Structures are given as C-alpha cells and as structure tokens.
C-alpha cells in the first residue's frame, strides 16, 4: 500500500563521515507524491471519496497511470485548515505529467452515472485547500499500516541533511521495521510550492499500526555500532522539526501484484 546550524557542521565532521546518498535520483525512477489538503464541509465527504473516487483511482492503478492513492484523516494535529489529505503516488516524470483527465475513467467505472452531478457532489462535500508535490528521497519498504506520522522538517543544508537521514537514521528505522515496531519509513523533499512563506522543505513519515512508543535509541545504536548516542542525537541539530501530525488511514487503492508503492 497504499530542519543546520553552523555549530552542527563541526559536530558532523567529528562524529561521522557521511557518504553521498545512494537513492536513485533519475527522473524516470523517482517517486513523486501529490498531497491534497482537503477541508470537509459535509458528513458525506468520506462516502464521496470511497464510493465515487476510490474505484476510479483503483482503475488508474490497474492501468498503470498512477502507483497508488490513499485518503487520510488528521487524527492528531491542526484540523482547522485541513482535516483530510489525499495522497497520490507516481513514478517518474512521464507518469506524473501524463493526462489525468477523469472523463474516460469515470465512464468506465461508473456507467450510467452523471459526471457533472458527481463533481457537484464532490465540491459540496469538501473544499480543496492546497496541493503539495513531494519527491521521494529515500525509504524502506512500506507495508500495511493504520497510521502515518508526518514530520515536517526545515534543513538549511539539504545535502548534509539528506546524508544524515539516509546513511545514519534510515538504518535505525529499518531496524524498527525488522523488529515489527514500524511498518515503514520514508523521506521526501518538497518540490512545490516553495518560498519564504513555506517553513519546511522536507518531510519524513513513520508508518505504523499502533501509536505505542518505539525503541528509537536502541535501534539507532544497533544500526550504527561503535557510535556514541550523544553524537547521534547531536545530528538532530541538522534540521528543525517544524511540526508533526498523525494521520489515520481511511481508504487506499490496492497495489498491482508484484509492484511496490
């Protein structure tokens, strides 16, 4: 399924030598995630998404025009602006920039139903507040999950920050996945919108089936043998954590057999 202070530069040099990130950056391989901020205006909103749009997104998955789609509810976080998010995943620029008109898909999935009326029902059920485009930087495999803990980060030196996350912290997250404490982890770079009004440029997401505490320190130490825990924690100075929200999964497409989202 579906935040580098100047002082920290010296800390990094003393504690770790971080090799360049190895995750594929080729445009044809990169995963892109389009995140739509929705404010529900009707108690029917979830029904509209699951009855009208989920089958259409599943058809697009089956056709290979998207990798996946999911609907999340903000369980813990500020719901005044967005109380739901839809997340659509693409692989490569070709898939991202393809024609995503819904007319043909709607006709095939909902024969006999009126697209104009369904669009009106959709607009009445929610306000589409904003769309954000993210590019995947790195990730573990992501399995079935009930929650996504979304952490917004601001990094002043993106290159050093990416190497810290991918080479030091990712192995710790992988250890948590291997021990069954997490369902997956992912890191994203914001593509658009950008500017001084946007307080973050990266996000990390912890996928999980429960909200219990996890042994993060132990996982980091096991994944980085011989390193000092204080030195590992000092690396957190490479970014500012702007916010963290917990999203609950409401609905999602199913992956095509043999493919990973």
Q: What would the DSSP string read from start to end of 143-206?
A: ---SEEEEEEEE-SSHHHHHHHIIIIIHHHHHHHHHTTS-SEEEEEEEEES-STT---SEEEEE
How many Cβ atoms from other residues are within 10 Å of residue 15's Cβ?
A: 17
Locate tokens 């493919």: which residue?
259
User: Longest Cα pair distance anywhere in the chain, in angstroms?
Assistant: 67
pLDDT at 230: 79
The domains located in the chain, with CATH, are 6-27+137-250 (3.30.70.100), 32-71+78-89+100-134 (3.30.70)
Regions of the chain where pLDDT drops below 70? 1-29, 257-261
pLDDT at 3: 27
pLDDT at 257: 61
pLDDT at 29: 66
**H helices within the chain, ranges in order?**
6-15, 45-48, 54-63, 92-96, 103-109, 115-125, 158-164, 170-178, 216-223, 229-234
How far, in Å, CA of 100 to CA of 125, rounded? Answer: 22
pLDDT at 259: 52
């Amino acid at each position: 399924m579906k935040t580098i202070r100047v002082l920290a530069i010296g800390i990094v040099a003393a504690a770790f030598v971080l090799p360049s990130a190895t995750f594929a950056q080729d445009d044809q391989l990169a995963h892109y995630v389009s995140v739509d901020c929705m404010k529900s205006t009707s108690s029917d909103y979830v029904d509209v998404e699951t009855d009208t749009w989920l089958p259409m997104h599943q058809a697009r998955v089956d056709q290979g025009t998207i990798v996946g789609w999911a609907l999340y509810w903000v369980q813990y976080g500020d719901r005044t602006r967005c109380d739901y998010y839809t997340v659509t995943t693409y692989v490569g620029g070709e898939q991202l920039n393809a024609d995503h008109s819904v007319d043909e898909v709607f006709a095939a999935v909902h024969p006999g139903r009126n697209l104009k009326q369904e669009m009106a029902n959709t607009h009445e059920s929610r306000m589409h507040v904003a769309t954000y485009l993210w590019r995947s930087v790195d990730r573990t495999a992501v399995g079935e999950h009930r929650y996504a803990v979304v952490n917004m980060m601001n990094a002043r030196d993106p290159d050093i920050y990416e190497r810290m996350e991918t080479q030091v912290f990712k192995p710790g997250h992988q250890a948590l996945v291997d021990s069954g404490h997490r369902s997956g982890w992912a890191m994203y770079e914001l593509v658009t919108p950008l500017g001084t009004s946007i307080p973050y440029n990266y996000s990390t997401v912890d996928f999980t089936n429960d909200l219990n505490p996890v042994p993060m320190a132990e996982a980091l130490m096991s994944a980085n043998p011989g390193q000092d825990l204080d030195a590992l924690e000092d690396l957190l100075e490479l970014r500012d954590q702007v916010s963290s929200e917990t999203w609950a999964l409401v609905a999602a497409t199913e992956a095509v057999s043999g493919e990973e989202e």
